[in-house]
Chain A
Amino acid sequence: MEWIRIFAKRLLAILHRQKLESDLDAELRGHIDALTEENIRRGMNENEARHAARREFGGVEQLKECYRNQRGLPFLETLAQDLRYALRMLVKSPGFTAVTILTLALGIGANTGLFSLVNSVLLANLAVRNPQELVVIKYTDSRSEQAQEDFSYPMYRAIRDKNTVFANVLTRSGVNFNASYGGQSERAVGELVSGNYFETLGVQPFLGRLIGPEDDRTPGAHPLAVLSYGYWQRRFGSDPAVVGKDIILNDNPIRVIGITPPGFYGTEMARNPDIRVPMMMATVFRPVPANRLQSSRHRWLTVLARRKPEVSFAQAQASLDILYRQVLAAELQELGASVNAHEKERALASRIQLQQGNQGFAHLRGEMERPLLLMFSVTGIVLLVACANLANLLLARNAKRAQEVSVRLAIGAGRGRLVRQWLTESLLLAVLGGCAGILVAYWAKTALVGFLPADFSTNLRAPMDLRVLGFALLASFITGLLFGLAPALQLSRTGVSIALQNDAPAIASGERLFSLRSALIFLQLALSLPLLIGAGLFLHSLRNLRGVNTGFVKENVFLATLNPAMNGYPQGRIKSLYDDLLARVRTLPGVRAASLTTSSVISGGWDQEGVKVEGYQPGPDENMSPNAAAISPGYFATMGIPFVSGRDFTEQDSASHTKVVIINETMAHYFFGNKDPLGKKIGTDDDPKVPPDREIIGVVKDAKYVRLSEAPRRHFYAPMAQEERLSDMTLQVCTSDDPEKIGDLVRAQVHDLDANLPLYATTTLEIQIDDSLTQERLLTWLSSLFGLLATMLASLGLSGVVAFSVARRTREIGIRMALGAQPGDILRQVVSPMALLVTAGMAVGLAAAYGLSRLLGSMLYEVGSADPLAFAGACFLLGVVAALAAYLPAQRATQVDPVVALRHE
């Protein structure tokens, strides 16, 4: 406590400095006067007496300084003094200050912006109670190296009821709704949640109540729902009266019982379901298969558990693994002969693998981790280059300030004190840059989030929280130290005598300055080249993706999805609705072709179906699941996919006729080699006793299905008329001009057929493809931007060094020219050390890029990590820019007038 009082007194003393200063003067004068009088009394004359008194008293100024240090807070006062001085210096050279702050704002801003994403995507915990106690339950088996996380309901129930290590175990699964309220219907993202979902997470209702265990007992008997805060705001205008009312979900009246709190988004970042219903309602909302809740063969749930506080992660894993294998063994026993030997073996080799659940099901994290960290490192490197550049700028300024430093040293300034003052200056710059950087970061973050696919950018909150601001501050300080320390130390080594000899400020100190500055240029070039090469690799990859042969025509196709099954249509009515819709749309003006499909190309997902093939014996672990889609006649015409042989489906290929399929070239080659597949039969693998029953009537060219970068895949098409069940279909309309114009006409037709049928995912094929390249485009843009920025900074630095060297050697150049040197000689002399520097920097950069580019491997499409085009292009660009940067100021050297130069200084 005492130090606080003393601190306060000292702080007050700073504020009353003037009065205290005159008090001190008076007091000391009084003392010396008294001493003098005493001496006079002893018989000295006045002059002698005063001298003696002064001697006895000691150095007055020295004492005062010591007194002041004791009185105030010397650290703060010095800091304030340094800051004032630094501000004066910055104001005196506004150009330098502006350039520096701008550079820092961009550098720190880009880093902070990316950090805010890293912070919320990679570091943020779920918005629930004690998230560190949560674990995601997964299992491993021989199917894939990655752990799987899909469980059957019986398995979930067994884990929940028989485990001894968890306080609670929840399960959930996604579901889509057609939600109607007040005569308006739309698609909503839903979630089936177990009765203990909210209890496990520790979430309290914002309004009403949440789903509890008593709401999840009997299949199909709990027609109630909880709305998310965001959905309630958006859809119901935050009307509290909605709680207790019914909404219509897929034709079922469902009672809204409560609203979840604002920050809560569920068990996965950036996936924020609008409506949650009890798990037991799966029989209503996902009616197929009917035994979904009883069958141990249907794995459709993800499971999250809360550890008991006293149980460690490893204990939980070990204990659960034993339980899991017991349950599996019992299940196998029960299934008996219907499980083949291979499946049995795989099941018995399966093991539980827990994963920390503090971030929930971190799918987004998995997707974004590499690109985010990559971009974060890139911005870090740019900031380093910027630091090197600023250090160079400061060194150049130091050369001008050498005289000032010498004077200061000569009159007794301590070197430590000088270093401190210089560092204060660079830290002030860094903090100013950091503040501006926070604004840049805010903008950058918003822009970055805008670049992400809409389905998670809308739910991705990347707040500029304390952690982000702390990062900005820390980055500023480190930056300030990095670019300020070398120049400060360098400057403090300036000799006392040098600058006082008026004419030679640059010679003795200049040599050392020169080499330090060269090292910084070297560093900048070595850092910039890998960034440029990275940008080149991404650019090349994106170009490859853009130019990829998709196998279909992407221009002028309008897309829209609808799902009458959700509105409770029986199968017969679904089929007739689709037929009606297709017939109506085909007559619309400007429509060239229209068709329906279960899977729309490059939308990120696709069905796969296990098949058996006439005359083909699969190996034990062979993948027999090609891509599959059910389509209407006219699909290939709409998409511009050509036939290799055979024919398209027609209206005659209906449910009552021979089952038919069309396969793609890859599938034809895979199963039939060079033989003609037409007339051969394939079948689904549902029942081993039924022989293949679908006749191949056509072979079409391959296309890209899920994403542009995929390898050729086996694919077969079945006519939708021969499907047992239809649910959502995507309508594809090929138009003669702008496909977006057809949207309203199509919407009107759907509304005319059923006003309660929402049309969603309306877009054009071109936009859909463009959206699939979001991440690639983002990486390309950012790496190009940062690569060019780094190159620009490096070349500015190089220019500065050459200009400095020319200025320093003006007199020498003048003498040489007076003695007959040609401009070419001078140019060579100035530029050649730079050429060496640039070559060395680029060589090191090249080696680093070669090592690092391997890390990009999986993010590139048909570009080797040692892609000659990217490497050569980047080297060429950097080389040309560096040559220009060195040549332009060197050119000035040749224009030196010997007469003027000799009179220089």
Chain B
Amino acid sequence: MAQPRGEVLQGTLDLIVLKTLEALGPLHGYGIAVRIQQVSADLLQLNQGTLYPALLRLEQRGWISSKWGVSANNRKAKYYSLTRSGRKQLLAETESWERMAAMMTRLLGRAEGA
């Protein structure tokens, strides 16, 4: 089965979604997509639909939960919110991401210096 574009970004996408939910509280899929577009300033080229398998995966792992609600313009929508273990996961992932980023920076910096 062909995978939709953006699947390679799985780890990153997870982190972005968790961070978005932490920052903005419960949000529906559309809201998350809009937020990602704003933040990434269109650098992250992905079909918005790709978001949904990611949301499902996070929910299966127990990091987010979902509930049907009513959106601002009176439409039925599924709201996602961060769970406690999701918060822990976000912390852990942020840390590891930062470590990785720092390491990459060091590595690339040194390579330039040499």
- In the assembled complex, B40 has its CB within 8 A of some CB on chain A: no
Q: Find out whether the CB atom of B4 lies under 8 angstroms from the CB atom of A58.
A: yes
Known contacts A60-B49, A63-B53; decide if A23 and B78 are in contact (CB<8 Å): yes
* Neighbour of B56 across the interface among A58, A59, A67, CB < 8 A: A67
Residues in B with CB closer than 8 Å to A9 are: 60
Contact size class for B?
Answer: 20 to 34
Other-chain residue from A30, A58, A65 in contact with B50 (beta carbon distance below 8 A) = A58
Query: Chain A 45-76 against B: per-residue CB contact (8 Å), 1 yes, 0 no?
Result: 00000000000111110110111011100100
Q: Give the distance in Å from the alpha carbon of A59 to the alpha carbon of B62 in the complex.
A: 27
Which residues of B26-54 have CB atoms within 8 Å of chain A's CB atoms?
28-30, 33, 47-50, 52-53
Contact of A69 among B1, B30, B62, B76 (CB under 8 A): B1
Q: Is the CB of B61 within 8 A of A2?
A: yes
Residue A33 CB within 8 A of the other chain: yes
CB neighbours (8 Å) of A24 from chain B are 52
| Contact of A37 with B by CB under 8 A | yes
Contact A30 B49 (CB under 8 A): no
Residue A84 at the chain B interface, CB threshold 8 Å: no
Given contacts A2-B61, A26-B76, A70-B57, contact A62 B4 (CB under 8 A): yes
* In the complex, chain B residues 69-112 whose Cβ is within 8 Å of any chain A Cβ: 71, 73, 75-78
By DSSP majority rule, is chain B's interface helix, strand, loop, or mixed? mixed
Residues on A with beta carbons closer than 8 Å to the beta carbon of B50: 58, 63
The residue from A2, A31, A67 contacting B48, defined by CB atoms under 8 A apart? A31
Most B CB atoms within 10 A — which of A6, A65, A66, A69? A66
Question: B8 interface residue, CB < 8 Å from A?
Answer: no
Q: Contact check: which of A5, A56, A69 meets B47 at CB < 8 Å?
A: A56
Which one of A10, A27, A65 lies within 8 Å of B29 (CB-CB)?
Answer: A27
Q: In the assembled complex, how far is the CB of residue A42 from the closest CB belonging to chain B, in whole angstroms?
A: 13
Looking at the complex, which one of B2, B3, B61, B73 makes contact with A37 (CB distance below 8 Å)? B73
Given A31-B29, A31-B30, A59-B4, the answer on whether A67 and B76 have CB atoms closer than 8 Å is no
In the complex, what residues of A have CB within 8 A of residue B78's CB? 23, 27, 30
Which chain A residues (19-48) contact chain B, with CB distance < 8 Å?
23-24, 26-28, 30-31, 33-35, 37
**B1 contacts A65, CB within 8 Å?**
yes
Chain A residue numbers with a CB within 8 Å of B29 are 27, 30-31
CB distance from B3 to the nearest CB of A (A): 6
**Interchain CA distance A6-B85 in the complex, whole Å:** 15
Of the candidates B3, B75, B76, the one whose C-beta lies within 8 Å of that of A66 is: B3
Are A57 and B49 interface neighbours, CB within 8 A?
yes
CA of A24 to CA of B76, assembled, Å? 12
Of all chain B residues, the one with the shortest Cβ separation from A20 is B56
Q: Is the CB of B60 within 8 A of A10?
A: yes
B30 near A71 with CB under 8 A, answer no
Query: Which of B4, B71, B76 contacts A63, CB < 8 Å?
Result: B4
Contacts of B4 in A (CB 8 A): 58-59, 62-63, 66
Cα distance A576–B76 when bound, in Å?
112
Closest to B32 in A: A31
Closest Cβ neighbor of B2 among chain A residues = A62
Contacts of B1 in A (CB 8 A): 65-66, 69, 74
Contact of B49 with A63 in the complex, beta carbons under 8 Å? yes
Give the shortest distance, in Å, between A52 (CB) and chain B (any CB). Answer: 12
Cα–Cα distance between A58 and B52 once the two chains are bound (Å): 12
Q: What separation, in Å, do the CA atoms of A26 and B52 have in the docked complex?
A: 13
Would you give the shortest CB distance from B53 to chain A, in whole angstroms? 5
Give B50's nearest chain A residue, CB to CB: A58
Interface positions of A from 55 to 112, Cβ below 8 Å from B: 56-60, 62-63, 65-67, 69-71, 74
- Kindly state the separation between the CA atoms of A10 and B78 in the bound complex, as whole angstroms: 19
Q: How far is the CA of A765 from the CA of B5 in the complex (A)?
A: 87
CB distance from A717 to the nearest CB of B (A): 88
Give the distance in Å from the alpha carbon of A28 to the alpha carbon of B48 in the complex: 10
Closest Cβ of chain B to A517, distance in Å, is: 34
Closest residue to A63 on the B side, CB-wise? B49
Of all chain A residues, the one with the shortest Cβ separation from B57 is: A70
B-contact bits for A316-328, CB 8 A (1 contact / 0 none): 0000000000000
Asked if B48 contacts A35 (CB within 8 A), the reply is yes
Residues of B within 8 A of A23 (CB): 78
Are A28's CB and B30's CB within 8 A? no
Determine which of B3, B47, B57, B76 lies in contact with A30 in the assembled complex, contact meaning CB atoms within 8 Å.
Answer: B76
- Asked if A70 contacts B47 (CB within 8 A), the reply is no
Complex Cα distance, B5 from A31, in Å, reads 18
> Which residues from chain B contact A5 at a C-beta distance below 8 Å?
62
A67→B75 contact, CB < 8 A: no
Write out the residue numbers on chain B whose beta carbons fall within 8 Å of the beta carbon of A59: 4, 47, 49
Cβ contact within 8 Å between B60 and A58: no
Minimum C-beta distance from B27 to chain A (A): 12
- CB closest residue in chain A, given B59: A9
Q: Which residues from B are CB-within-8-Å of A69?
A: 1
Q: Which residues of A contact B62 (CB under 8 A)?
A: 5
Contact (Cβ within 8 A) A30 B28: yes
Closest to A33 in B: B75
- Of the candidates B48, B56, B71, B75, the one whose C-beta lies within 8 Å of that of A57 is B48
Q: Contact at A34–B49, with CB atoms within 8 Å? A: no
Instruction: Say yes or no: A27-B77 contact (C-beta < 8 A), given A63-B50, A67-B56.
Output: yes
**Residue of A with least CB distance to B46:** A58
> When chains A and B are docked, how far (Å) is the Cα of A28 from the Cα of B29?
9
In the docked arrangement, what's the CA distance between A6 and B56, Å?
Answer: 11
Q: Which residue of B lies closest to A60 (CB)?
A: B49
Chain B residues contacting A6 (CB-CB under 8 Å) are 60-61
Q: Tell me whether A58 and B47 are in contact (CB under 8 A).
A: yes
Complex: A51 Cα to B47 Cα, angstroms: 14
Q: Which of A30, A60, A65 contacts B30 (CB 8 A)?
A: A30
**Which residues on A sit within 8 Å (CB–CB) of B2?**
62
Please name all residues of chain B whose beta carbon is closer than 8 Å to the beta carbon of A57 when the two chains form the complex.
47-49
A-B contact pairs, 8 of them (CB 8 A): A9-B60, A27-B52, A37-B73, A58-B50, A62-B2, A66-B3, A69-B1, A70-B53
- Seed contacts A27-B29, A63-B47; 10 additional CB < 8 Å A-B pairs: A6-B60, A6-B61, A10-B60, A30-B76, A31-B30, A31-B49, A34-B71, A56-B48, A58-B49, A69-B1
Residues of A participating in the B interface, judged by any CB pair closer than 8 Å: 2, 5-6, 9-10, 23-24, 26-28, 30-31, 33-35, 37, 56-60, 62-63, 65-67, 69-71, 74
> 5 closest pairs, A vs B, by CB?
A58-B47, A63-B49, A58-B49, A34-B30, A70-B53
